[in-house]
């Protein structure tokens, strides 16, 4: 599970509990903290003051504490989320392995593919180990899906920078698609 999936999962939990979703800055703060960023750096990326980012973070920790039933803060948010996600996902079906990858630009320890992806490329569902060519097809399919998502996110009002960060795509490529 990568950081985007974790953010979506947490946002859905909050929506179910409060009827509200996290705003863009709150999602950025959560992602940034999970990736080890400082409030100051997150504030710069989202064109707000560090003080405003800290205020929003305080509100985020309050919302998470209420939703998760634990005292959540910057220091313990990662451990709590890991525990909650793993605990609540025991009823879900995951391909062969499960790991939370908070570093979206790094390669996961073990590559796993969904049975649907393996079926798409004619891979063996039982081994979850496609050939290099099949792996390339899966990567290209995932990339194509991301690129097709860009216009939809732009219509929702996200900036090129936010879209690039959310989809883990180069900013220049997103800007080109939006022009």
CB proximity list for 106: less than 8 A, separation 6 or greater: none
User: What pTM did the predictor assign?
Assistant: 0.52
What would the two tokens of residue 70 be?
Answer: 């634990």
Encoded tokens for 91:
């009823």
Residue-wise DSSP of 116-170: HHHHHTT--TTTT---HHHHHHHHHHHHHHHHHHHHHHHHTT--HHHHHHHHT--
Return per-residue pLDDT of the chain as tens, 179 residues.
Answer: 677 888 888 888 899 998 999 999 999 999 999 888 999 999 998 889 999 999 999 999 999 999 888 999 999 998 888 888 777 655 444 443 344 555 544 444 335 666 666 666 665 545 556 677 777 777 777 888 888 888 888 887 878 888 888 888 888 888 888 88
Containing H/E element for 52?
A: helix 50-68
Q: Whole-angstrom distance between the N-terminal and C-terminal Cα of the chain?
A: 32
- How far apart are alpha carbons 177 and 171 in whole angstroms? 10
Beta bridge partners of 2: 101
CB atoms within 10 A of CB 43: 23
**How far from the centroid of its chain's Cα atoms is residue 108's Cα?**
14
In the chain, what are the domains? 1-102 (1.10.10), 113-179 (1.10.10)
Q: According to the model, what pLDDT value does residue 51 have?
A: 94
């Amino acid at each position: 599970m990568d950081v985007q999936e974790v953010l979506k999962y947490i946002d859905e939990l909050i929506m179910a509990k409060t009827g509200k979703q996290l705003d863009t800055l709150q999602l950025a703060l959560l992602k940034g903290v999970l990736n080890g960023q400082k409030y100051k750096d997150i504030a710069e990326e989202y064109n707000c003051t560090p003080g405003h980012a800290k205020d929003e973070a305080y509100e985020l920790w309050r919302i998470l504490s209420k939703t998760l039933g634990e005292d959540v803060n910057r220091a313990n948010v990662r451990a709590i989320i890991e525990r909650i996600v793993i605990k609540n996902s025991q009823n879900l079906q995951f391909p062969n392995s499960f790991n939370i990858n908070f570093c979206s630009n790094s390669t996961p320890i073990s590559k796993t593919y969904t049975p649907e992806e393996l079926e798409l490329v004619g891979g063996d569902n039982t081994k979850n180990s496609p050939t290099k060519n099949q792996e390339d097809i899966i990567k290209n399919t995932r990339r194509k899906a991301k690129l097709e998502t860009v216009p939809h996110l732009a219509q929702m009002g996200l900036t090129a920078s936010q879209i690039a960060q959310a989809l883990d795509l180069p900013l220049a490529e997103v800007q080109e698609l939006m022009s």
